[in-house]
Amino acid sequence: MKKTVCLLSASASMAYYLWLGVHNHFQLSVLSFWLLLSLLLLWIAFWDRLPGKERIPRPVIFAAKLCLGAGLALFLSVEALVLWGMGQSAPEEPELDYVIVLGAGLNGERPSHTLELRLEHALSYLQEHSRTKVLVTGGLNTSASVTEAQAMENWLLEKGVEPRRILTEDHSTTTAENMQFGFPILLEDADGTGNKDVLFVGIATSDFHVFRSLCLASRAVRDTAAPGMEVCLYGMAADFPAASLSHYMVREFFTTCVDTLRGNMALPLPCK
C-alpha cells in the first residue's frame, strides 16, 4: 500500500513539475521542489529493493528519519499559518485609514493578472470607504519600463480613484522592502493629516502571501513607528489562480524561512 501511494504521489508531483515548467518556461522559482519531491517519493517506494541498504548504520537511518520528520513538522506548521492568512479580510469596523497593495509583476506597462487581482480587491474596499487612502508599492524590474507602483497608480486612476488618495513607493524589489520603504511614507502622510494615535492599515495581497506580509509589516512598524503610535494591521486576501496555488504555498514556506533568518519578520500582534 505504501509503495502504491508513493508511486502515485511521485507521478503527480512529476506531472505538476512539468506542467508548471512548460507554462512558465522553467523559470519559476522553487520549481525544482516538485522534481526533488518526486525523486524522494520514488526512493521511499523502492527502499526495500535498494542494494546495500543493510550496510547503512542504524544510527544514520534513525538520524535521517528524525531530520525528515522535523522538516515535515516545520513545513506543516508554516503552511498552517499560510492557511490562516488566506482567511483574513478587512474588518467591517473600524474603517481602514490606509490600504497597502503589494506589487506582483507587470506585463509591459500593465499589471500582471495576479497584481490586477490584488488591485481589484483593494479597489472594492476603496469604493466603499471614501476616506481610505491607498499606498502602492513596487520598483522597477529588468523587464519593465515603468515601476510597479506607477503601473498600479495608473490602473487606479483609470478606475476613478482620486490622485489625492494614492501614495506611491517605487524603489522596493522585495516584499520586505515594500514594508521597509513603504511604512515611512505612510506614517509621514498620517502625521501630516491629523496626528492620530492609532492607524488602521490593511495589506492587500494574494491569499497565500498574507501571513508573511503581516509579519514583515509588523517588523517594519516596530522599526519605524514613533513612540506612542499604534498601527493595527489587517490582511486582505485577494484571489489567486487555483492551478498554481499549491506551488506558491510551498514557495511561501521557503521565503518565510529566509525572511525569518534575515530578521525581517515579527509575529503580528492583535490590536489593544
pLDDT above 90 as % of the chain: 74
What is the residue-averaged pLDDT of the chain?
91
pLDDT value, residue 272: 64
How do residues 227-242 score in pLDDT, each as one tens digit? 778 899 999 999 999 9
| Separation between Cα atoms, residue 201 and residue 134, nearest integer Å | 10
Name all domains of the chain by residue range, CATH numbers in brackets. 2-86 (no CATH), 98-261 (3.40.50.620)
Sheet bearing 133-137, strands edge to edge: 166-169, 133-137, 98-101, 198-206, 230-238
Place of cell 542494494: 51
Residue ranges, the chain, pLDDT below 70: 52-53, 192-195, 272
pLDDT score, position 195:
61
Least Cα distance to 156 among 187, 110, 88 occurs for 110
Cβ neighbours for 126, distance < 8 A, ≥ 6 positions apart? 99, 132, 134, 156, 161, 165
Closest CA to 183 of 207, 218, 151: 218
Task: Give pLDDT, residue 28.
Answer: 92
pLDDT of residue 264: 95
Tell me the per-residue pLDDT of 155-191, one tens digit each, with 9 for 90 and over: 999 999 999 999 999 999 999 999 999 999 999 898 7
